[in-house]
A = this chain, B = another copy of it.
Amino acid sequence: MVKVGIVGVGTVGVSVVKNLEKNREIIKSRAGKEIKVIKGVVRDPSKKRDVNIELVTDYKEVTRDPQIDIVVELMGGVDKAYEVVKDALNHGKAVVTANKALLAYHRFELQKIANTPFEYEASVAGGIPVIKALRDGLSANHIEEIKGIINGTCNYILTEMKKGRDYEEVLKEAQEKGYAEADPTFDVGGFDAAHKLLILASIAYNIDAKPEEILIEGIENINLTDIEFAKEFGYEIKLLGIAKKIGNEIELRVHPTLIKKEEMIAKVDGVMNAVSVIGDVVGETMYYGPGAGGDATASAVISDIIEIARGCIKPMLGFKIPLELDNVTLKPIDEIESKYYLRVAVNDEVGVLEKIAHILAKNNISIESFLQKPRNGYVKLLFSTHKCKEKEIKKAIKEIQELSFVLKPINYIRIEE
């Protein structure tokens, strides 16, 4: 029998216990052993929980219990979870976690310490086995690109806005439905997606980057004009986590993105997640499913427990021998190249277009398409550019913003095609 201790028995923890019980026969058959949760660590043991396991408040009663084989970390947060997980590894326990923030900050240190299996399928894209796909299924490939819809909150909001609904209105509904937190910043600001992207990028490229080092922009500035532009020009707007290898540089970024509606990933709506990966041997594969939720996450956690029970030890981030990546670096944000969509609200005056076009040309930015729409008392100018550098577009936007006839903050969305 494989004995499991869970640190943090919330929604996911309860679902893990329940589903291990509900599906125990088929799980035993697949794992080759019985799997049982024997202890849980919680802050408040008196709180009503729908499970019948021994509850303690000191994590060491799990991480140092000689009976326990696998420690499942479901606390969330970074520092305390790091302390708990290190203690488990230092006492010879295998670890399963769903904690994307922990891994965003400490995955390489944990890989160094771990002499036992360390699995984290549940940390990216919920119930979709994307970690196994990338690390084990696509191991023959150099990964050229990863594009992920890996935050269900953002995808839900953007999907609802396509129906002509206002951002603020949809956010409120998302909060009521439990798809967004009271303080939604972590999701709508792109930070949650960034944590997950870093995990995927490490498996693809063995690169250790922190959230603070990469470009992160959320969906808070998307409005219905942008949605209409997308529809008119055959795009969808999605918050994407993007990883690319260009020469010896790895580009990592999270931001709203215009993608052609024919792209498979453009067809993913609502709270669902999807990760598209382009490998140099296989081409494009995509993985779709529920990115969050107690049961979806529990499915991933339990699949990791079963793998460990089967005796399968994987190199944590996929590399048994560290890859010689001395010459692979994180691309500086300023050097990232992309096509951009710009939304500029201006007074209806003579010379507006000439002045804006002059600034773009001066900064080496070439216009691909242009749409001018009159509004009540002002004019909306919608541009899409050819590829240019982040630093060039930032400079151009700053200069255009300073023109006297520009009425509102300029919005921009990167275009991937």
Bound form: Cα–Cα A301–B282 in Å: 11
B289 and A140 contacting across the interface, CB-CB below 8 Å: no
Min C-beta distance of A292 to chain B, whole Å = 11
B320, A30: Cβ atoms closer than 8 Å: yes
Do B282 and A264 have beta carbons less than 8 Å apart?
A: no
Stretch in A121-129, A147-155, A350-358 with 4+ CB within 8 Å of B: A121-129
The number of residues on chain A lying at the interface, defined by a beta carbon within 8 Å of a beta carbon of chain B, is 63
A307-B136 in contact (CB<8A): yes
The reply to whether B129 and A133 contact each other, CB–CB distance below 8 Å, is yes
Which of B132, B296, B310 meets A133, CB within 8 Å?
B132
Is A407 an interface position by the 8 A CB rule?
no
Q: How far is the CB of A23 from chain B (nearest CB, A)?
A: 6
Q: Which residues of chain B come closer than 8 Å to A132, judged between CB atoms?
A: 129, 132-133, 136-137
The answer for the CA separation of A313 and B313 in the assembled complex, in Å, is 10
A142 is an interface residue with CB less than 8 A from chain B: yes
Flag if B313 contacts A311 (CB, 8 Å): yes
Residues of B within 8 A of A280 (CB): 23
Interface-facing stretch out of A38-46, A251-259, A321-329, A374-382: A321-329
B306-A282 in contact (CB<8A):
no
The answer to whether A140 and B306 touch across the interface, beta carbons within 8 angstroms, is: yes
Contact A19–B288 (Cβ < 8 Å)? no
A290 and B283 within 8 A (CB):
yes
Please give, as numbers and ranges, the residues of chain B lying within 8 Å of A290 by CB-CB distance.
282-285
Instruction: Check: A145 CB closer than 8 A to any chain B CB.
Output: no
- The answer to whether B295 touches A281 (Cβ under 8 A) is yes
Write out the residue numbers on chain B whose beta carbons fall within 8 Å of the beta carbon of A26. 142, 323
Contacts of A264 in B (CB 8 A): 267-268, 288
- Indicate if A209 sits at the interface (CB-CB under 8 A): no
Chain B residues positioned under 8 Å from A298 (CB to CB): 140, 281
A257–B87 Cα distance when bound, in Å, is 54
Q: With an 8 A cutoff between CB atoms, is A31 at the interface?
A: yes
Residues from chain B with a CB closer than 8 A to the CB of A322 are 29
Q: Which residue of B lies closest to A280 (CB)?
A: B23
Instruction: Please give the distance in Å from A179's CB to the nearest CB on chain B.
Output: 15
Partner of A279, one of B141, B142, B299, B307: B299
* Minimum CB–CB distance for A294 against chain B, Å: 10
Question: Roughly how many angstroms separate A125 CA and B299 CA in the complex, as a whole number?
Answer: 23
CA distance A282 to B303 in the complex (A): 11
Asked if A286 is at the interface of the complex by the 8 Å CB criterion, the answer is yes
Complex alpha-carbon distance, A315 and B28, angstroms: 13
Closest 9 CB pairs of A and B: A129-B137, A32-B320, A285-B289, A140-B302, A127-B282, A282-B299, A286-B288, A281-B299, A29-B323
Q: Which residues of A contact B (CB under 8 A)?
A: 15, 19, 23, 25-32, 121, 127-129, 132-133, 136-142, 206, 264, 267-268, 279-290, 295-296, 298-303, 306-307, 310-315, 318-324
